Structure 1
Amino acid sequence: MTISEAIMDIRICVLILIFGYVFKTSHTVSTECSSKTIHLSSFSQGNNILDGYTYRTINQVPNIQLCAEQCLLHRMCRSFNYNRENDQCDLNSENHIRKPEALSSSVTSKYYIIDGWPEFFLSGCEYHTCPETHVCVVNFQGLTPSYTCVEYSQPTYTIGCTNLFTQESVVTINSSTVRFSPVTCVDSVGDTFGTFIHNYRDGTFDWFNMRPIIEGCAGLAQAQSLRYFGIEFFGECWVAGTFVESSHTKIPANDCNTKTYLGVGGANVVCVYEII
């Protein structure tokens, strides 16, 4: 077992402890944790990849569990390759059981089968019944049902990256309705956007779900009567009264996969939203 696999084992167990306490499951916390601890090495075929069946490659995925989450959201996905050198996640439409001849050795990647992975960290998409041609998307807070099945197509970004973001969101924060939409993602090197107001990269930071960060930053902007907000470095919230798109360098379409992540900017990138 690698160090990253051991860390994931611990995280899954901790999550079960939290869920067991919050939702007061019928099992004791110790039994719940013991019975559901998942050893990621049991899903791995070691330093191998499944070659020839990757239907989607996702860059900038920081750990194995996030790659597994992406696979679980697609019922088409039966396995995945994870390259720990460059944080690349390959979703495969087959696995080594059905296609044993496709398994080949790799120095930098590991192969995992998805059958048996826990789904509780998918939030509203847990045990979703979307068909293989669709992907599960968690609905925003308070909506029923908790997820939507969206027909899958290979994402194609345009300059600025926000064409694939949720185009309009309406949430309730501290009893106030906040409505916002994405504007664009821009390079922040040597280019300042607004005022830094809050860093969400703390002990409660959740790589699986960036929506609380986006919604929280929206609430902070509205509370200060500011029209724009942006997320940089995955969790830094910036706010501004004005934003002139033409004064900033937009992220090129072919860099969106590596420089943005789930609606927020990565290193030296600000994804800007507007309160509407």
Structure 2
Amino acid sequence: MAITNITVISHTFFYLLGVPGLEDQHIWISIPFFTCYIIALLGNSFLIFIIVTDNSLHEPMYIFLCMLAGIDISLSTITIPKALAIFWFNYGGISLNACIAQLFFIHSTFIAESGVLLLMAFDRYIAICYPLRYTMILTPSVITKTAVAFYIRSAGSIFPIIFLVKRLPFCKNNLLPHTYCENIGLAKYACANIQANIWYGIFVLLTTVVIDIILIFASYCMILHAIFHMPSKEARHKTLNTCGSHICVIFLFYIPGIFTFLAQRFGKKIPPHVHILMANVCMLVPPVMNPIIYGIKTKQIRNRVTHLLFQRKG
């Protein structure tokens, strides 16, 4: 009986295809990508500069906002430059290790932003429900320890995915129809069982982002209860206005993400390019809109921006 030796070749190099089906439109698609990336970099960098250089903004609310701006810069920088390389130069080549590194930073940064949004909701809850104890509860030490704990949570929850992906042999197609690497998008090209990747991904989502959403919702239920029991209509309006920017940012971050998650699992009839473009919206919209929203709706930041822009004329 003849024995046939079969050698399984595991790919160590992949090609990101960008937006399959719209290859002829890549140049046009790159225009909003590039524009949004520049706006995100400038807007968030300027926001960080304003908060760091103005002592009156060294409060918990603005420290969390500064953290959010830094995360937004990271999130867009992890994904958009590679997408532009695909659109402009048709260079989607990426090694397996680089692909795994990118998916690690994308997922961990996404969870980190969710965590910061929860911290900002907690900040508003303490400021509105316990205003006299605000400075005693949110001390610099508490802020630092909490921020470090959330960053450790973000990296720690995604770290096992590195090993779950590294163990897989990639002997199928090495062409990835996307602009960036992500866990299941890469794992499904393995010629091995990926149930561990799927279930761990769901576990991480449930124990981080979903819990954050539930706690944010609970915080705002208590915040709204406290606001509508304020005796003064003017006080209610002022307090609601301070929460307005944060609520807008929450919706901008979670709604595209939830829609993309549901579309990927239940929207089988949705064209692939729609899935890919929506996934990129999750990476582009929050970093672009967050500094704009806070710049417009937060009086202290708006006044500081006006002062910086027109101080010479003054």
TM class, shorter-length: under 0.3
| TM-score relative to the length of structure 2 | 0.23
Higher relative contact order (Cα pairs below 8 Å, separated by 6+ residues): 2
Higher strand share: 1
Higher helix share: 2
Find the structure with the greater CA-based Rg: 2
